[in-house]
């Protein structure tokens, strides 16, 4: 049982880390990307570029918001 809990803790630390908001934001963006692929809303090549750009914008925005929130406390 100790091995299983250690394994799950490793994956939690690897994927979520210290900022769960980034993990949730990326999961939401990927979910929207899957929906866009499923319904053929955007061409595949353009969708890949848009998702990459959205993730590159999302991460610094969340980090700045978290830094401001921690300073306000």
Q: Is residue 50 part of a domain?
A: yes
- Whether residue 45 is contained in a domain is answered as yes
Number of domains in the chain: 1
Range of the domain at 62: 16-72
pLDDT for 70 equals: 86
Interhelix angle 44-72/20-38, nearest 10 degrees: 160
24 in a structural domain: yes
Q: Answer whether residue 56 shows pLDDT above 90.
A: yes
Q: What is the pLDDT of residue 49?
A: 96
In a domain, 23, yes or no: yes
* Per-residue pLDDT reduced to its tens digit, 7-42: 989 888 888 887 889 999 999 999 999 999 999 999
**According to DSSP H, which parts of the chain are helical?**
2-15, 20-38, 44-72
């Amino acid at each position: 049982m100790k091995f299983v809990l250690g394994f799950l803790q490793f994956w939690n630390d690897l994927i979520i880390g210290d900022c769960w908001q980034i993990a949730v934001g990326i999961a939401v963006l990927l979910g929207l990307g899957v929906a866009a692929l499923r319904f053929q809303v955007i061409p595949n090549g353009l969708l890949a570029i848009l998702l990459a750009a959205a993730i590159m914008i999302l991460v610094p925005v969340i980090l700045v918001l978290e830094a401001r929130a921690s300073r306000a406390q």
